Amino acid sequence: MRMELCELTIKQVQDGLRSKKFSIAELVSDCLKAIDKNKELNAYLEVYGEDALNEAKRLDGATSDFNELPPLWGIPFAVKDNIFIEGKRVSAASKILENYEASYDATAIARMKKTGAIFLGRTNMDEFAMGSSTENSAFKPTKNPHDPSCVPGGSSGGSAAAVAANMCISALGSDTGGSIRQPASFCGVVGLKPTYGMVSRSGLIAMASSLDQIGPLTKTAEDAKIVFDVIKGKDPLDSTTVESNPKSQIPNLKFKIGLPKEYFGQGLDSDVEKIVRDAIKKLQDLGHEIKEISLPISEYALAAYYIIMPAEVSANLARFDGIRYGLVTSDKRQETSLYDIYAKTRAEGFGDEVKRRIMLGTYTLSAGYYDAYYLKAQKVRRLIKEDFEKAFKEVDIIAGPTSPTPAFKFGERTDDPLKMYLADIYTVAVNLAGLPGLSMNAGWVYPEHGRGVEQEGKKLPVGIQFIAPWFQEDRVFNIAAQLEKIL
Ligand code: GLN
């Protein structure tokens, strides 16, 4: 069977273009066909069909030296709807920004444009990146390409679904507590959350600024590295960025892999556990050393995250007041006061989950509660970081499940926010500590045929997460590429 061009990886596109097997215009129109065919998955909020084709033709005409193509030359990307592309709408899947237009390129986008990337459209997400299923989008829910009755994960669910269903070659997402890795796990693709400060947040609509990072969703670990190498590095527009990988060290051939016992405890689905342990066993068979470790404070990570994140959310979202950006209340009566404009705009424009978090955040930051909640959570955050520092004295890398379950059904968790928050139990600590983490597919479950029994029929992917020390992204790329070869 002929492989469609949209099924290729970045690396394969690079090779194909170099040997002139196809044109960029052919590649882009193949992706656009896949988008059209998979319309009912709702991965995209907007597709830039004509613009993308025109850009493809322009690049085809501008290609002279086929041996020296810039890294993302002609690569079609999907972009999460909270990342600025100049002149395009960017709504964070919120009604309050529905018609807002980006006035500049995010630094990551600018760097990608410089090396020839093409943008196919903006992808659906949980409103303001708050959620684990993309059900919080103000516009529509995205469906999981492997089973449309299940969620794709979130909040970068549109980007993960777009990669999984070959509606792009690769995508950008953002990760504040797991929003790249968890949907990557639910959709069976690779997702990287870089070390805090490796990728500029300029042009990313802020959710929680001390946790947010932009990162790639791709088909392979090699592709994730290609994108990461383009978007990473110091940026004068984001003072938290640092120079590219100051001191990358890959251990000689064999890794010491730590398995935190807290990541294999109560609440972990037994099929997920089996798949992740089998993958780790395969790495052991390759000669890597496996060691059980402990991250004792991780038990408090979710609690600390759900205090620190909403606090930052409440501050960051204060700017959406009906005056400076986007939507303004439909109440246009003369006697409407300025305060009423703020209050009514926010009441009409924000969804329930966003409101919930703003209220939580303003509460924990208010006088009297600040010390009891916010300050305490910050102290826990420090202890979580120290947990990892200790662990990385013993091991080179940490491995475990990305999410405790495979993709769940629509509506299953929407009535119970706490249940929804549990989907991130293994991912949030990585953001609190600022570490790099990568999720990749480790195997499949077959829910319709008795869990874990391999048979024809619908199957759902299960992700494994690798966590490396600060700035050691190369380790996660390296181990993930090794695992890809033997799975
Ligand atoms: N699902 C988590 C939350 O709801 C993570 C979100 C994210 O990483 N943007 O906060």
Of 134, 156, 176, the residue with max ligand 1 atoms within 8 A of its CB, to mutate for a pocket test, comes to 176
Cβ of 129 closer than 6 Å to ligand 1, yes or no, is yes
Task: Let me know the angle formed at the C-alpha of 175 by 278 and 354, rounded to the nearest 5 degrees.
Answer: 125
Q: Whose Cα sits closest to atom 4 in ligand 1?
A: 131
Residue 250 has pLDDT above 80, yes or no: no
Query: Are 126 and 84 in contact, with CB atoms under 8 Å apart?
Result: no
Number of domains in the chain: 1
CA of 272 to the centre of ligand 1 (A): 21
Confidence (pTM): 0.97
Of 263, 254, 305, 327, residue with least CA distance to 284? 254
Q: Whose Cα sits closest to atom 5 in ligand 1?
A: 177
**274 tagged catalytic:** no
Cβ of 155 closer than 6 Å to ligand 1, yes or no, is yes
**330 tagged catalytic:** no
Cβ of 30 closer than 6 Å to ligand 1, yes or no, is no
Cβ of 179 closer than 6 Å to ligand 1, yes or no, is yes
Cβ of 432 closer than 6 Å to ligand 1, yes or no, is no
**247 tagged catalytic:** no
Q: Which atom of ligand 1 is closest in space to residue 180's alpha carbon?
A: 8
User: Tell me: the pLDDT tens digits for 100-127?
Assistant: 999 999 999 999 999 999 999 999 999 9
Cβ of 430 closer than 6 Å to ligand 1, yes or no, is no
Cα→Cα distances 248→26, 222, 342, 468, 472, Å: 38, 16, 48, 11, 5
- pLDDT for the residue numbered 2: 62
Average pLDDT over residues 160-189: 98
Cβ of 142 closer than 6 Å to ligand 1, yes or no, is no
User: Tell me: the pLDDT tens digits for 64-94?
Assistant: 888 899 999 999 999 999 999 999 999 999 9
Query: Are 224 and 218 in contact, with CB atoms under 8 Å apart?
Result: yes
Query: Which residue range forms the structural domain that includes residue 398?
Result: 1-487
Catalytic, out of 29, 170, 179, 439 = 179
Residue 233 has pLDDT above 90, yes or no: yes
**CATH number, residue 16:** 3.90.1300.10
- pLDDT for the residue numbered 391: 98
Task: Indicate the average pLDDT of the chain.
Answer: 95
Q: Which atom of ligand 1 is closest in space to residue 306's alpha carbon?
A: 10
User: Tell me: the pLDDT tens digits for 419-449?
Assistant: 899 889 999 999 999 999 999 999 999 876 5
Catalytic, out of 91, 94, 155, 314 = 155
User: Tell me: the pLDDT tens digits for 329-385?
Assistant: 888 787 789 999 999 999 999 999 999 999 999 999 999 999 999 999 999 999 999
The two three-digit tokens of residue 280, written as one number: 């780790």
| Region label for 29, one of left (φ > 0), alpha (ψ between -120 and 50) or beta (otherwise) | alpha
Q: Which atom of ligand 1 is closest in space to residue 154's alpha carbon?
A: 1
